[in-house]
Chains A and B, each alone.
Chain A
Amino acid sequence: EAAVTQSPRSKVAVTGGKVTLSCHQTNNHDYMYWYRQDTGHGLRLIHYSYVADSTEKGDIPDGYKASRPSQENFSLILELASLSQTAVYFCASGTGGSYEQYFGPGTRLTVL
């Protein structure tokens, strides 16, 4: 069954540490997205990619990097984690034509 998976499902990180969140999709979609979810803000787009080896900035890219080494995999990297990056992070994949997006289960990140 086609799906979007994320790892880890939860993580506790220390301030200033490096955090890598991983996403894998078997939907054969070209587009992949990283969002963060905060109470009262809905989902906000951090980075996205429409082809391997290329990433684009979303609406709130500061403090985050992204990597798309293959069509199936998309990582979100926090080089220097900060308290304000405590949130739930969702990965999604989608096609270009239909605009539909399919979401992973999320990663709950707590930065202490």
Chain B
Amino acid sequence: AQSVTQPDARVTVSEGASLQLRCKYSYFGTPYLFWYVQYPRQGLQLLLKYYPGDPVVQGVNGFEAEFSKSNSSFHLRKASVHWSDWAVYFCAAVNMGYKLTFGTGTSLLVDP
């Protein structure tokens, strides 16, 4: 079955440190992949998207993600975390059809 797995329910980093949030997918073929961010009591906002092509994609606010077909992964990275990045991050995928499949989310906590 198609699935998206975010193995880390919670990640804590110090402000200014680098960040990686992990995402693994299980799909037949190569899906389209997305990272969304959810700030407290808000809806989800699109952070970045991957359509087959360049494996490294840039998003808003200094975020980037790298697609790896061999590892079935789409990890999110940021070089220097800011306190305002405190949020929940969701990885999502779609292959055939128009239904996104979401991971369970990773809560990012930022130590000042």
- Chain A residues within CB distance 8 Å of chain B: 4, 31, 40-45, 48, 50, 58-59, 90, 92, 94, 96, 98-106
Distance in angstroms between the alpha carbons of A40 and B90 in the assembled complex: 12
Tally B residues with Cβ within 8 Å of A: 20
Say yes or no: is B34 at the interface (Cβ < 8 Å to chain A). Answer: yes
Task: Choose from A4, A31, A90, A105 the contact partner of B98 (Cβ within 8 Å).
Answer: A31
Distance in angstroms between the alpha carbons of A68 and B105 in the assembled complex: 29
Q: Which of B66-112 contact A (CB under 8 A)?
A: 90, 94, 98-100, 102-105
Distance in angstroms between the alpha carbons of A70 and B105 in the assembled complex: 32
Task: Choose from A31, A42, A99, A106 the contact partner of B42 (Cβ within 8 Å).
Answer: A106
Q: Give A42 Cβ to nearest chain B Cβ, in Å.
A: 4
Q: Is the CB of B104 within 8 A of A48?
A: no
Task: Choose from B42, B94, B99 the contact partner of A48 (Cβ within 8 Å).
Answer: B99
Q: Is the CB of B102 within 8 A of A42?
A: yes
Task: Choose from A40, A43, A100, A102 the contact partner of B49 (Cβ within 8 Å).
Answer: A100
Q: Is the CB of B104 within 8 A of A99?
A: no
Distance in angstroms between the alpha carbons of A94 and B49 in the assembled complex: 14
The interface residues of chain A lying within 8 Å CB-to-CB of B49 are: 98-100
A59, A90, A101: most-surrounded residue (chain B CB, <10 A) = A101
Say yes or no: is B56 at the interface (Cβ < 8 Å to chain A). Answer: no
Q: Is the CB of B102 within 8 A of A43?
A: yes
Q: Is the CB of B99 within 8 A of A104?
A: no
Q: Is the CB of B104 within 8 A of A40?
A: yes
- Nearest residue, chain B, Cβ from A31: B98
The interface residues of chain B lying within 8 Å CB-to-CB of A103 are: 36, 43-45
The interface residues of chain A lying within 8 Å CB-to-CB of B27 are: none
- Nearest residue, chain A, Cβ from B93: A99
Can you list 27 contacts pairing A with B, beta carbon distance less than 8 Å? A4-B43, A31-B98, A40-B9, A42-B90, A42-B103, A43-B44, A43-B102, A44-B102, A45-B100, A48-B98, A48-B99, A50-B98, A59-B99, A92-B44, A99-B32, A99-B98, A99-B100, A100-B34, A100-B46, A100-B49, A103-B36, A103-B43, A103-B44, A103-B45, A105-B43, A106-B41, A106-B43
